[in-house]
Amino acid sequence: MGLILTILTAVLLTAANYYMHLYFLSWIAFLPFLYYFYQYRPEMSYKKIFLSGWNLGFWILLFSGNFMYHSIKLYTGAPLPIIILLLVLLFLLLALSYGIFFLIYFYLEQRLFTAEGFNPFFFAGSWTLFELARHYLLFFFPIANPAYTQAEFLAFIQLADPGGIWLLTFILILVNGLLFQIILKKSFKKIMVLGLLIVLIFGFSHYSQQKPLSENSDSPEKIEIGIITSEIKQQEKWSSRQLEQNIELTLNAADKLNQTSLVIAPETNLTFDFHRNQHYRQLFLERLAAEFETPVQIGSLASKDSGSSRYNSSYLLSEEGEVLARYDKNLLLYFGETYPFLELLNNYTPYYFSSLEAGDERVIFKSGNLKWKTVICSEILYPAYVKTEKEVDFIVNQTNEAWFNESRLLKNIMWQAAVLRAVENRMPVIKTGNQAHSGIIYPSGEYKKVDPAENYHKLKLN
């Protein structure tokens, strides 16, 4: 019974990561687990409490992070049983934090609320602090926060403006706790508190106003941004025969998107070293100058003069074929772009692992009256890093999600994060990628996705 109820909670809590319109299930997700805990609480030792929390964490992480199978398979070619074993061990290790949380939580609850028993405010506050600690201490795995499941609940996510995902987490878990008391403990006095929360959510949504996109003289309604998207499989993307096709895909955007204010391509859309490969670089820049009438933002795994290290880079190029700015990804993706214990991995596995170099500078791109911040791929998952100032007009997120074999889960997680970043900053987020959800998210959280079957799209900033 305990295992079934634990898995049910994990399923309800993560269902919206697979089908975003199921966001409402997160509001009742903890009921099965809380019922199990408080039904058998008198019989539970601290060891049992720890193991139950560990079990819950394992299933939450499994349902939130199983997309990693595809990237490990693609990168290493390891057999299925080995990959499953590695993922199970990883999730079991990360899930220890959930077991520790419940151990501390129930110890404190017993000391503070002996007479009352379960307190929904204490549970919600404790869980929010846990998510905060997990985000910063286990920064290499910044997913599985329940707030992201609410990307489709527009009225609710407006509260991300003043309080970020942490306020959303607190309210979401608090409602779970209140419903547990109302439904299973027959504490009907909590209905009034629940009513006040509903008033808060819809009241703030009604009165919150979008911040202006820009203080520039140009009207936002007149600004169009062009994006290039692609559906290239990861195995093909980096092949030598695909290199020139990637170049052509980018340059062919001139015919479709020349009337826009800016053209943005996905992460690593050019599969040669844009800094070191002078042949393809010169060829590309000459044709860009001849065919484009607008600046272009491209991506490349590129080196620098100072050494052989490569960076995941984004370049802003003028319509004259000049390099205006470069941003090197600061927060690298663990087990994808950077690997711990490299020497150990390469000595004791049949695979060769290598890491990219992390950039150390935040760069604001500028073109005409427009200014924007670029975050590459997984950087969109870090609220504090994406946080921008008023002088920026919008945020760009370039991605390549082909590593994950068209995973619905991964695509949705990345899109949900982009939605929350738009509301938190009250600023449009433009997302363009390879095998990804692409489009524009407005400051309210409303969005427009583009058709992945087409490569060239025009997006209005307002």
pLDDT in tens, the chain (462 residues): 789 999 999 999 999 999 999 999 999 999 999 999 888 777 788 899 999 999 999 999 999 999 999 888 877 778 889 889 989 999 999 999 999 999 999 999 888 876 567 899 999 999 999 999 999 999 888 999 999 999 999 999 999 999 999 999 999 999 999 999 999 888 888 999 999 999 999 999 987 854 444 444 444 558 999 999 999 999 899 998 899 999 999 999 999 999 999 999 999 999 999 999 999 999 999 999 999 999 999 999 999 987 778 999 999 999 999 999 999 999 998 877 887 766 666 666 666 667 889 999 999 999 999 999 999 999 999 999 999 877 899 999 999 999 899 999 999 999 999 999 999 999 999 999 999 999 999 999 999 999 999 999 999 988
Q: Are 419 and 157 in contact (CB under 8 A)?
A: yes
Q: 42 burial class (0-12, 13-18, 19+ CB within 10 angstroms)?
A: exposed
> For strand 429-434 and strand 394-400, is the pairing parallel, antiparallel, or unpaired?
parallel
Instruction: Concatenate the DSSP letters of all residues of 388-408 into one string.
Output: --TT--EEEEEEE-GGGTT-H
- Give residue 123's pLDDT: 96
C-alpha span between 118 and 106 (Å, rounded)? 9
Phi, psi of 336 (to 5 degrees): -140, -55
- Give residue 351's pLDDT: 62
What is the separation of C-alpha 351 from the centre of its chain, rounded to a whole number of angstroms? 28
Instruction: Concatenate the DSSP letters of all residues of 433-456 into one string.
Output: EESS--EEE-TTS-EEEPPTT-SE
- Give residue 307's pLDDT: 75
- Give residue 19's pLDDT: 97
pTM above 0.85, yes or no: yes
DSSP reduced 3-state for 374: strand
Side chain identity at residue 315, one-letter code: Y
Give me the helices (H) in 273-403, please. Answer: 278-291, 342-348, 383-386
Q: Are 197 and 174 in contact (CB under 8 A)?
A: yes
Q: In what order do the strands lie in the sheet with 262-264?
A: 323-328, 307-317, 296-304, 262-264, 224-228, 456-460
Q: Are 60 and 98 in contact (CB under 8 A)?
A: yes
C-alpha span between 313 and 300 (Å, rounded)? 5
Q: How large is the angle between the packed helices 160-179 and 190-207, nearest 10 degrees? A: 160
Which uninterrupted H or E stretch holds 85? helix 80-112
Q: Set out the domains of the chain in order of their start, with CATH numbers.
A: 2-207 (no CATH), 220-460 (3.60.110.10)
Q: Other C-beta atoms within 10 Å of 273: how many? A: 16
Q: Are 160 and 387 in contact (CB under 8 A)?
A: no
What's the full length of the chain, in residues? 462
- Give residue 222's pLDDT: 80
Q: Are 57 and 22 in contact (CB under 8 A)?
A: no
Side chain identity at residue 208, one-letter code: S
**Helix, strand, coil percentages for the chain (3-state, nearest 5):** 55, 15, 30
Cα separations (Å) of 176 from 83, 123, 202?
35, 10, 18
DSSP reduced 3-state for 298: strand
C-alpha span between 214 and 224 (Å, rounded)? 14
